[in-house]
Amino acid sequence: MRIGVVGAGYVGLTSAVCLAERGHATVCVDVDAQRVRTLTAGEAPIDEPGLPQLLASTLRDGTLRFSGRFEDLAECEVVFVCVPTPSRPDGSADITAVDAAVGQLNRTLHPGAVVVMKSTVPVGTTRMVIDRLHGTGISAVSNPEFLRESHAIYDFRHPDRILIGAADDRAADVLQTVYGVGDTEVLRMSPESAELAKYASNAFLAVKISYANSLAQLCSRVGADVADVARCMGADVRIGKHFLQPGPGWGGSCLPKDTAALLDTGRRNGVELAEVASARDTNLGQADRIVAALSQSMAGPLATARIAAFGLTFKAGTCDVRDSPALFISDRLASLGAQVSGYDPRLAMIDQDTLRRSSIGAVDDAYLAAKAADAIVVFTEWPEFRDLDWFRIAGQAPAAVVLDTRNLLDPTEIRHAGLRYLGNGKVPGF
Ligand code: NAD
Ligand code: UGA
């Protein structure tokens, strides 16, 4: 089929290369001219396993091309809208980019075309788009995306489910044909249910992690081990073992903004969603937990401390620092007077503007970041941190306490190197 994709970010680019790989003639349009040039040259602007290879092969085969012009989508039968829907200051989702894209598609596409809303949009958005396209012969359906950054290509190829929210069976059938779904469960429902199901899923993941973080705090106080508690909970299939890992808090470009947007939808409709609000409070409180743990465990005051932040991205496997707990908590530490130096294995690929706006002095060497540190905080679960020479680090920062928010390191090895170790939800821990 002739496929269009609007937005060449994590979702759009992944969708475009995977659809092109399946043989669909795919055109991906983005308003960022530099990004279009980079992609046309075969360079992946984001760090996703398998992406460079797929980009190269689909460009070579001619099944994929990039453009800055919406006119190049004119002949497309199906167009996926994958543009950002960031938070406004009041928490609501800003759908300006979706509106702009739909306006362009309205002017460009032929009757019979299907516009697919892959961006995460508030309930009612797809229905608004359907109304806007009324009389043009162009249909619109909701098809929320569930991919995870750092597993984007894998998730596109092996989705748990494909969600189609449609008011129009023909449009839903066309979309199902594009996916050619095989064994994957296809869930069809109204656009409103599909839109809400996406927010509900992300918010549930956030609630689950916040619960794990609260339990971790309790574990360290009562002498329990959160890994054992989570192991038992996860063995119950009704609970499931995923998303029970404590950490510095959940971040990234989606869970924070989507929980805020869901609360906003609740507020507008007189529903409180207290569980989601509480999960967000717990998440914000992670900074206080870490500040308190450092204040209690370091030899000197936080106001004059040197702190090394190990890991700056919001999770391992990505160079994305959007809404990263590492940056948020480091900024808090700096606001209390600490000097924070940060290291990340993907430093070179991290957005430098965001780093410059933070209070972190970033260095491309873990040993340099840790030099003379009073504390080393492991924020991101990069496996590389396990392989560092902890004896060398102890030699350069003999008084440092290691606060391992991800329970990544081997406590015995850290202690053996001569450093104090605190795990998250462990004894000793915080
Ligand atoms: P992104 O920021 O990585 O990329 C968005 C791209 O859209 C950018 O390249 C930008 O230049 C382009 N763009 C912006 N406005 C445009 C316009 N009017 N026309 C054409 N291009 C435009 O965003 P993303 O992470 O891919 O997220 C896109 C949407 O998908 C959001 O609604 C997000 O919530 C949702 N989502 C994201 C993920 C994820 O893991 N990142 C997963 C599921 C759903
Ligand atoms: C999340 C969802 O997992 C995807 O299904 C969804 O499509 C996407 O949001 C979206 O809508 O954009 P992603 O943002 O890539 O994907 O990140 P996750 O892997 O969900 O992690 C989110 C945050 O939770 C990270 O900061 C991570 O470190 C943290 N986390 C995750 C924990 O602290 N503990 C866990 O057990 C799991």
Query: Is 247 labeled as ligand-binding?
Result: yes
Ligand nearest to the CA of 200: 2
Look at residue 206 in the predicted model and tell me its pLDDT. 98
Instruction: Give the residue, out of 46, 148, 321, with the most ligand 2 atoms within 8 A of its beta carbon, to mutate for a pocket test.
Output: 148
pLDDT of residue 240: 97
Query: Any residues with CB less than 8 A from the CB of 124 and at least 6 apart, and which?
Result: 192, 195
On the CB side of 219, CA atoms within 13 Å amount to 23
Residue 342 pairs in a beta bridge with: 309, 362
Mean pLDDT across the chain, nearest whole number?
Answer: 97
Residue pointed to by tokens 């829907």: 85
State residue 11's pLDDT score: 98
CA 303 to chain centre: 32
In the block, which residue shows the tokens 């800003």? 94
3 CA → ligand 1 middle, Å: 17
**Domains 2-189 and 192-430 belong to one CATH topology:** yes
Mean pLDDT of 163-190: 95
CA of 253 to the centre of ligand 1 (A): 10
Domain boundaries, the chain: 2-189, 192-430
CATH superfamily of domain region 2-189: NAD(P)-binding Rossmann-like Domain (3.40.50.720)
> Could you identify the atom of ligand 2 that is nearest to the CA of residue 255?
9
Contacts of 237 (CB under 8 A, 6+ apart): none
- Please check if 306 is assigned to a binding site: no
Atom 12 (ligand 2): residue with closest C-alpha?
A: 254
- Give the list of residues 6+ apart from residue 19 with CB closer than 8 angstroms, or none: 3, 5, 26, 178
Question: Which amino acid is residue 84, in one-letter code?
Answer: P
The pLDDT value given to residue 232: 98
181 pLDDT above the threshold of 80: no
CA of 234 to the centre of ligand 2 (A): 18
Residue 10 above 80 pLDDT?
Answer: yes
Predicted confidence band at 323 (pLDDT cuts at 50, 70, 90)?
very high
Asked if 254 is an active-site residue, the reply is yes
85 is in an annotated binding site: yes
222: amino acid identity, one letter: V
**Annotated binding-site residue? 275:** no
Of the candidates 76, 82, 254, 319, the residue annotated as catalytic is 254
What lines the ligand 1 site, CB under 6 Å?
Answer: 6-12, 29-32, 35, 82-85, 97, 100-101, 119-120, 145, 147, 149, 253-254
* Residue 364 dihedral angles phi and psi, to the nearest 5°: -95, 40
Percentage of the chain exceeding pLDDT 70: 100
Interval 196-222 mean pLDDT: 98
To the question of whether residue 120 is assigned a binding role by annotation, the answer is yes
- The strand pair at 161-165 and 185-189 is best described as parallel
Distance, CA 160 to ligand 2 centroid (Å)?
A: 15
DSSP of 361-392: EE-S-HHHHHTT-SEEEE-S--GGGGGS-HHH
Is the distance from CB of 179 to CB of 164 less than 8 angstroms?
A: no
Identity at 367, one-letter amino acid code: Y
Q: What is the pLDDT of residues 70-79, one digit of tens each?
A: 999 999 999 9
pLDDT at 125: 98
The pLDDT assigned to 182 comes to: 83
Select from 253, 257, 258, 354 the residue to mutate for testing ligand 1; criterion: most ligand atoms less than 8 Å from CB. 253
The whole-number average pLDDT for the span 344-363 is 96
* Superfamily of domain 192-430 in the CATH hierarchy: NAD(P)-binding Rossmann-like Domain (3.40.50.720)
- Total count of residues recorded for the chain: 430
CA distance 340 to 377: 10
Residue from 242, 171, 179 nearest 15 by CA: 179
Buried (b) or exposed (e) across 22-49, using 16+ Cβ within 10 A?
Answer: eebbbbbbbbeeebbeebeeeebbbbbe
CA pair distance 30, 22, nearest whole angstrom: 21
Q: Report the residue among 10, 117, 198 best suited for mutation to probe ligand 1: largest number of ligand atoms under 8 A from its CB.
A: 10
Q: What is the pLDDT of residues 118-159, one digit of tens each?
A: 999 999 999 999 999 999 999 999 999 999 999 999 999 999
Q: What percent of the chain has pLDDT over 90?
A: 99
Q: Are 49 and 12 in contact (CB under 8 A)?
A: no
For 43-47, 205-209, 413-417, which range has the lowest pLDDT when averaged over its residues?
43-47
